[in-house]
Amino acid sequence: MEAFGHPDETGAWLRCYRCWSRNLEVQLHVEGIYKIDPDTAERSETIDELHEAVIQCVDCLHDQPHLTLVDGRIAPVPDRWERMVTGTPWVASAIVSVPEESVEVCAGPEAAESLTHAALGDAGVREFFAHVRFHKHEDGQIVIHMLVELYARNANEAAEVLEEASRGNLTIASLAEESRPPASSPHGPH
């Protein structure tokens, strides 16, 4: 951890978890409903407003699920940034069994997303690269066989994170550490 300095320093967490680049951008989507002033024709009172921020690395173009936007500033997601920034990629061959009714569609172009969501939920969909290899129907359950890539500091942590994200009965058939993608910045930590 020394290489990253104190967690209070933005340099520790305000970087791409994959290539450690500090060249980041935020895409902000605002969806709102506003009253219209009948005299000035201007947008006036806000009835409802929804902000969605997607933080991306400009160098490797990956989303940054360890970062979030809070009151106009980027903040690290607790319990996630250290693991993702200082960890290495792990690839798990995982099998998740979920009740059939929790899968919206299991065929067609949306099947992979729907199966991934049923198996790993929102956090898993945002944070992991998941590839559904195949699925089987067994006694009211759907057994989803997938390859999942996630970042963790060791094998135990990788297994724990999968366990936590899993929304059904999880079996990890194999778990292997991969090498980190090369750091993009010449000023990156060594």
Which residue in 12, 13, 14, 19 binds Zn ion (CB under 5 A)? Answer: 19
**43 or 180, CB closer to Zn ion?**
180
CA angle, 30 then 33 then 38, to 5°: 130
Neighbours of 17 (CB within 10 A): 23
Judged by CB under 5 A, does residue 16 bind Zn ion? yes
> CB 37 → Zn ion: shortest distance, Å?
44
Q: Where are the beta strands (DSSP E) in the chain?
A: 24-36, 43-57, 67-70, 73-76, 88-99, 129-138, 141-152, 169-177
What binding mask, one character per residue, do residues 53-72 give for Zn ion by CB under 5 A, x or -?
Answer: ----x-xx------------
* CB-nearer residue toward Zn ion: 15 or 117: 15
Q: Does 91 bind Zn ion (CB under 5 A)?
A: no
Decide: is 14 part of the binding site for Zn ion (CB under 5 A). no
132 near Zn ion (CB under 5 A): no
CA distance 33 to 188: 43
How far apart are CB 74 and Zn ion at their closest, in Å?
15
Helix or strand or coil: residue 86? helix
Strands 88-99, 141-152: pairing is: antiparallel
Give me the residues that bind Zn ion (CB under 5 A), please: 16, 18-19, 21, 57, 59-60
